[in-house]
Chains A and B, each alone.
Chain A
């Protein structure tokens, strides 16, 4: 159930806003996730039954626990029609690159931090040998075939419409070489399937993100989230 309270030291003042056990006494309906509106007046809740991860999104008033608006049925992690946005990093950047090159139509915009994109060359970088047990190596025929099949850099097709993309790297990154993002953005810019911008921001005084100052974190995330919000606001 979702509860509210004035502070962690005041559990006695706890109040229930949404209780799935009341909505479905059988106990088979569960909360997948919830999100509070910026003004705190509303709570969006995804409710799903029987272990399904496809939930129906209900909106409740925080003050009264009353359901408002219509239910949005059948929402899950996937989407269609190019309204999905993705903020990814590192290995998540690799996953993003693989998915965007396979289904560029799904996305409105992508921000990707310190990602891996060239799976044929990743083992040649200073930290690369340590990735071989996880990703595989081009010296093995079957593993080469697997790597080549999804390596994002090798699946950018000239003339394809890719979503607006922002790559962010630190030049001092010792975990994932910053050249992955350089090569990927150059390839996307050359593919030139439309006017969508493909941007690369390189910080000379940053690495993989560990040890970044508060000010750097603010600037970098202002870039990453600001870019996504721009396309969310004006698709």
Chain B
């Protein structure tokens, strides 16, 4: 189902316009994403390099180092976003 548009006199064919539909509004798009995820996950899961990177990243990002960011001061009171691994979100 390609779509053609004319921009400034130039005809441009768009073969995958249907993929622009938001996931929630299209079973076809959801199906496309699910199939791509399955294909990609199977490929990536088989990579030994991925396992090694994940282990090292989990060590680095999961390090129990407390971080304070987005510092602010209002009327003598200090505010900060505190990151406290292994808790998941800032």
Contact = CB atoms under 8 A, between A and B. Distances in A.
Interface of A: 118, 120-121, 138, 141, 144-145, 148, 154, 166, 171, 177, 179, 182-183, 185-187, 190, 197, 199-202, 204, 211, 213-215, 217-219, 221-223, 225-227, 229-230, 233
A194 B69 CA distance: 46
Contacts of B29: 182
B14 to A, nearest CB: 7
Interface residues of B, number: 37
Contacts of A229: 49-50, 52-53
Contacts of B15: 186-187, 190
Contacts of A217: 57, 61
Interface in B15-67: 15-16, 19-21, 23, 29, 32-33, 36-37, 39-41, 43-44, 47, 49-54, 57-58, 61-62
A222 B57 contact: yes
Contacts of A190: 15
A120 B4 CA distance: 12
B88 A121 contact: no
Contacts of A186: 15-16, 19, 32
A177 B22 CA distance: 9
A202 B50 contact: no
A200 B29 CA distance: 13
B16 A187 contact: yes
Contacts of A199: 36, 39-40, 43-44
Given A120-B7, A186-B16, A217-B61, A222 B54 contact: yes
Contacts of B86: 214
Nearest to A201: B40
Given A183-B20, A229-B53, A214 B89 contact: yes
Contact of A121 (B14, B43, B47): B14
B85 A182 contact: no
Contacts of B16: 182-183, 186-187
A213 B39 contact: no
B10 A148 contact: yes
Nearest to B12: A120
B28 to A, nearest CB: 11
